[in-house]
Amino acid sequence: MSEYAIEMLGITKTFPGIIANDNVNLVVKKNEVHAILGENGAGKSTLMSVLFGAYSPDSGKILINGKEVKITNPNVATDLGIGMVHQHFKLVHNYTVTENIVLGREPRNKFGILSLDEAEKKVQMLSEKYGLQVDPKAKIEDITVGQQQRVEILKTLYSDSDIIILDEPSAVLTPQEIDELMDIIRLLQKEGKTIVLITHKLKEIKAVANRCTILRRGKYIDCVDITPETSEQELATMMVGRPVKFDIEKKPCNPGEKLLEIKSISVNDSVGVEKVHDLSLDVCAGEIVGIAGVDGNGQTELLYALSGLSPVTKGQIIMNGKDITNMKIRERNEAGLGHIPEDRHKHGLVGGLSVAENTVLKDFYTLKYSGKLGVLMTDRIFANSDKLIEEFDIRSGQGSITPAGALSGGNQQKVIVAREISLSPNVLLVAQPTRGLDVGAIEYIRKRLVAERDKGRAILLVSFELDEIMNLCDRIAAISKGSIAGVFKAGEKTASEIGLMMAGEKSKEASK
């Protein structure tokens, strides 16, 4: 038997205007955890889609366990023992966990009627064996994103996959969930599975991977062994092609007047449960205030209320001295509010429109882009997006006319960030701005946020990554159960102290 579980040799795949994979090799040993590292748009997801049979390559060959195979569709991949957890989950929301897992292979009893009992037992067994706690009978819409991911992993285990592909599994997880995921990966490896892990987080690669293949702009660069000596800096340099700075330099913060005042607001979620409770916080010109907290403590609802997506039940929001509590979203935009939303697919981008149209999504109707009679000025719209594509290094097949939905995940995020920053808002709400971005892009976006701060903008940053918050923010507010547990200057407290506050321990001193 071959030593290798997967050999992808000389794989090439093109899309209109772009070679997503250019003669790429990927060789994965049996029972190893093999990481794939590469910038946004480097072609990682494409390569995995080829392996999984979702795309057929233009050239190249694939060997599984030493045998050459033609993977023409995902069913073939499943039969070969390959399972994939996609970057964007593919679950049916109003089905239960078990129903989703058996979808397509529904077990039937002797009368030909769907029977889930057996399946439920098997799911239960698998979830215990691999430490993937989920309730087999819960509906997908009722469980957290982290649990949904477990369902996706269970799905691959249920069909007895020996090779499991995880495409940016940690991008949607909270730090705690990431730790759990690392344990799960180790357990899977111990049980004899081979794992391909795509991630932008070098820490994760160091933590679990045995080897790592690096791609850059569609090309194979290298495959390296990961040892305790491997440095993150080295990996980052190989991947981006230049040295990357992990810590940003910033000038001392020089806060000005209060630009955003949140005055004891309460907000309900979509089903009417109060998620933000009597919360107050100020953000001044020229500072970045971070909200640190575990997912689900009201961050989402707070941002919804500030951006105008949902109403407050109590309290006031003052921006620039103006009461915006009851303003429509467009009025808030015009008053100088920017928003990089948490859910980029749902709220950030219109996938069917071009990159150009997406860059003017918020101001296409203004005299800048529309004539007096309401006619769009296409030339200006394209000029604007050509400029932003250049400035933010947005990589796509056909530039401005590429549909935003055809961009790689990280490049989609860049389009949103480019749009919001280009509108130069006074107050910028930022949620998870670097989620799914490569280290080079993270460096750039953080730099831009700091530059915005230095221009005197007020920035409110929500992130589940404590690192990001501690790195970027001038002041940090820990949020717990919908209220601020304490506000302090960056550097005043250690990560573990902040962690305690996030867990609900009220700060002794009054805020600030």
Cα–Cα dist 410/344, whole Å: 10
Contacting residue, 11, 35, 45, 395, with Mg ion by CB under 5 A: 45
User: Measuring CA to CA, how many Å separate 214 from each of 42, 199, 243, 246, 438?
Assistant: 9, 11, 15, 19, 12
Asked if 357 is part of the footprint of other proteins (rule: CB under 8 A), the reply reads yes
The one of Mg ion, other proteins, ligand ATP, none whose footprint includes residue 199, by CB under 5 to 8 A per kind, is: none
- Contact segment (CB under 8 A) with other proteins among 106-114, 246-254, 363-371, 467-475 equals 363-371
CB of 339 to other proteins, least distance (A): 7
Nearer residue to Mg ion within complex by CB, 411 or 463: 411
Of positions 54, 335, 376, 500, contacts other proteins by CB under 8 A:
376
Residue 398: which of Mg ion, other proteins, ligand ATP, none does it interact with, CB under 5 to 8 A by kind? Answer: other proteins
Q: Which is nearer to other proteins, 182 or 361 (CB)?
A: 361
Closest of 58, 345, 59, 36 to residue 165, by C-alpha = 36
Stretch of 12-20, 41-49, 453-461, 503-511 lying at the interface with other proteins (CB under 8 A):
12-20
Residues lying near ligand ATP in the complex (CB under 6 A) are found at 15, 18, 20, 38, 40-46, 87, 395-397, 406-411
Strands 274-284 and 82-85: unpaired
Restricting to residues 68-127, which ones interact with Mg ion according to CB under 5 A?
Answer: 87
* Number of Cβ atoms within 10 Å of the Cβ of 88: 11
Binding-site residue total for other proteins (CB under 8 A)? Answer: 46
Q: Which stretch binds other proteins (CB under 8 A): 270-278, 285-293, 330-338, 486-494?
A: 330-338
- What burial letters (b/e) apply to 254-267, b meaning 16+ CB within 10 Å? ebeeebbbbbebbb
Angle between helical axes of 378-392 and 409-422 (0-180°, round to 10): 120
Which tokens in the block code for residue 429?
């709400």
Query: Using CB distances below 5 to 8 A depending on partner kind, what does residue 150 bind out of ligand ATP, Mg ion, other proteins, none?
Result: none
Q: Indicate whether 349 belongs to the interface with other proteins (CB under 8 A).
A: yes
Comparing CB distances to other proteins, the nearer of 221 and 327 is: 327
Closest to ligand ATP by CB, 64 vs 239, is 239
Query: How deeply is 190 buried, as exposed, middle or buried, from its count of CB atoms within 10 A (0-12, 13-18, 19+)?
Result: exposed
Identify what 375 binds: other proteins, ligand ATP, Mg ion, none; CB under 5 to 8 Å per kind: other proteins
Give whichever of 235 and 381 is closer to Mg ion, judged by the CB atom: 235
Q: CB 6 → other proteins: shortest distance, Å?
A: 22
The single residue among 347, 447, 448, 481 that binds other proteins, judged by CB under 8 A, is 347
In this structure, are residues 488 and 502 in contact, taking their beta carbons and an 8 Å threshold? Answer: no
Helix (H, G, I), strand (E, B) or coil at 3: coil
Q: Which residues pair with 322 in a beta bridge?
A: 319
Crossing angle of the two packed helices 439-454 and 409-422, in degrees rounded to 10: 10
CA-based nearest residue to 85, from 3, 11, 172, 10: 172
Query: What is the bridge-based pairing of β-strands 322-323 and 67-69?
Result: unpaired
Question: Which of the stretches 114-122, 233-241, 255-263, 345-353 binds other proteins when contact is defined by CB under 8 A?
Answer: 345-353
Among 127, 354, 359, 480, binds other proteins (CB under 8 A): 354
Q: Which residues of 104-121 are buried (b: 16+ CB within 10 A; e: fewer)?
A: eeeeeeeeeeeebeebbe
Strands 211-216 and 163-167: unpaired
Binding partner selected for residue 41 from ligand ATP, other proteins, Mg ion, none, CB under the kind-specific 5 to 8 Å limit: ligand ATP
Give the nearest distance from C-beta 327 to other proteins in angstroms.
10
> Binding other proteins by CB under 8 A: which of 401, 481, 499, 500?
401
Q: How many CA atoms lie within 13 A of 397 on its CB side?
A: 18
From the CB of 265, what's the least distance to other proteins, in Å? 19
Enumerate residues 379-398 that contact other proteins by CB under 8 A: 379, 381-382, 386, 389, 398
Strand order in the sheet with 274-284: 274-284, 258-268, 312-319, 322-323
| Residue 374 engages other proteins in binding (rule: CB under 8 A) | yes
- Shortest distance (Å) from residue 342 CB to other proteins: 11
Structure tokens at 397: 């097949």
Q: Is 465 strand, coil or helix? A: coil
State the Cα–Cα distance between residues 416 and 351, nearest whole angstrom.
12
Binding mask 48-77 for other proteins (x = CB under 8 A): --------x-xx------------------
Q: Say how far apart CA 78 and CA 156 lie, in whole Å.
A: 8
Contact status: 14 vs other proteins (CB under 8 A): yes
399 binds other proteins (CB under 8 A): yes
Three-state helix/strand/coil letters over 292-326: ECCCCCCHHHHHHHHHCCCCEEEEEEEECCEECCC
Binding site for other proteins (CB under 8 A): 12, 14, 16-17, 56, 58-59, 307, 309, 328-330, 332-333, 339, 341, 346-354, 356-357, 361-362, 364-365, 369-370, 374-376, 378-379, 381-382, 386, 389, 398-401
Residues contributing to the site for Mg ion (CB under 5 A): 45, 87, 409
